[in-house]
A and B are shown apart, each in its own frame.
Chain A
Amino acid sequence: MEFLSAAIDVTNLRYHLSVVTFLPLVGALFLTFIHRKRERELKATAFFFSLITFVASLPILFEFQSGGGAGFSLVEEVAWIPAFNIKYIMGVDGISVFLVLLTTFLSPIVMLSSTSNVHHKVKEYFIAMLVLQTGLIGSFCALDLFLFYVFFELMLIPMYLLIGVWGSDEIERREAALKFFVYTLVGSLLMFLAVLYVAHEAGTFDIRLLPEACRNLSSTAQYVCFGAFMLSFAIKTPVFPFHTWLPQAHTEAPTGGSVVLAGVMLKLGTYGMLRFAIPFFPEPAVALSGAISVLAVIGIIYGSMMALAQDDLKKMIAYSSVAHMGFIVLGLFSFNLIAVQGALLQNINHGLSTGLLFLLVGVIYERRHTRIFAEFGGIAKVMPKFAVLFMIATLSSIGLPGTNGFVGEFLILLGTFGGMPNGDWTWTTGSTLAVFAASGVVLGAVYMLWGYQRVFFGEITVKENKNLRDVTPLEMSFALPVVVLIFFIGLNPTPLLTRTEPAVKATIENARASAAQRMEAVAHK
């Protein structure tokens, strides 16, 4: 305990975010010194490090609260490569703070769940997980574009290995892993060129200065760079039609990998849009918002339809992710405070609900080694507690009032429905999109509930299902915190929304103002 309090003490000092970011990496280093046969110690150490990372990250919330405002808190700044003005800058604001916390919150849960369902190469699994965590936290905290890119890419390798080594199917997983890697790399390399270009033009990699500095870019440059950034984030999110890597990767990844992938990694895409693509290049962002929103809506409906057609539980949830992320993108590109707030909240919600769903699928997969609907049926009778947990996750995913999903989706639809007050986005387009998106909500309810029905209700048709063990205390211990948060946010989202509001407001209003200014300037010419 002494060590813990000491750690928190340190984190209250200047390098709070760095400590949170690199604690998992330290843990990974620690693990390398433990013999691979001592699995218990390995698991305990990994869990311990992710837990103290979570504990250490909690003060960020309070520190952030006291900081308030739209600016960044807990900023650290150290020169890294002075010749190119590349710095090591970390900091959080309303947009990133909850994503950081979501990451640190989900990590111990993932570690805990992995203790029961990882059986080979345990040491390497946890090392990969911890490195992945550092990459994730780092990308959310980085305030230097170069540094962001480094963290952004840092996640690829551990995720590749997680899918490729610990994936479920011998042959499929290799393909899925490579596909995941190549897709992400294609996008991110083009973004890297754009990053270098933007930084070269602006003379800085500092994210705090770049929105201003990017004003000087020509329209063409803005459009090209926006395209490069958006391509990368659209693949990551994923936005239709760049989603094809996702179902495969999700299905093949081990439970822990799926949770991190769906829970946190996809959010990097939407985070990147709000943090980089929109404020840096407001003109193309506003001008192309219609097209992107249409893609998002297509994604919502397409994802829902595909989810409906799946015969594999995990694949269904994977496609539901495509639909949910579509909602978030729709919210972001409505340029409406309510919708963007909702999108940001939905980021967290989707992380929680889909994370929980994947965890629970892992639980049942552990027992039956299958995820095909036909193999189940009547599970509720033998695993009542499990059925309740799954129901909560399902309802949260559908967006039932009282759960977190409702708040997010409602805000997004509400904001979109209103349309952009002063943009070229009329009320009609906004409402049309919102109506189509809302149909996605209905479809979501259909496939989720139908899926639930097929798994849990009816007669037990398969013999193996008769003797299934219900949720163990360990499994309960990692599912419950998520459940608590689902209801907490569902019933009282205000603490989150008030904290995100200043930053979101500043970002959206700046972007809109600057876009309008530029368009006017073009019109005058």
Chain B
Amino acid sequence: MLLAEANTPVTDWIYTLVFMAVFVTTLMAGLWVVIARDVIRAGVSLFICLSGVAGIYFFLNAQFLAVVQIMVYVGGTTVLILFGVMLTNRAPVLTSRRATDRTLAGWLATVIVAAPLFVILVGRDLMEKKDVKTANGWFTMKEAAAQAPINTVALGDALLTSYILPFEIASLVLLVALVGSAYLARRREDESGIEGRLS
């Protein structure tokens, strides 16, 4: 409830400023991941981008999720990717070729998808200056922050009650992933002979 309680005009202003900073950083880093030609740089940008997302989670008052984000994505996935890039390539700097022939199609697809989303999510608030929350059920960010009682206890409750089934199924998904990756990564010598017919 830390950020949500700050309700004075000044804190409100600071709140918005910091949020915008995190927001812009995340966006720029995300863009850089896509357009960077140097894989290492792209990886570092991904690191920044994912951290930014964690920051946004903080602003949404989802502290637990933010921590998970940092641990899993920032700490785990990104580092893993960087390790992978460094270990698998002899060349000191790996550059990716840019597919120039698809640029136009790419931009077109981006605009087609992004424009309606922009109108849906941002346009209304910015342009109409209207309180939309009751009209269509959107939460404004502050509202969500004010309202959400999420903390680890509640999260734990939810995971072990209402969401027990997905929670358990997720473990099976992980099992399948484990079996699969073990199979794919296994040494290849075992495929040389076909042992025994079936039945």
A and B touch in the complex (CB under 8 A): no
**Interface of B toward A, CB cutoff 8 Å:** none
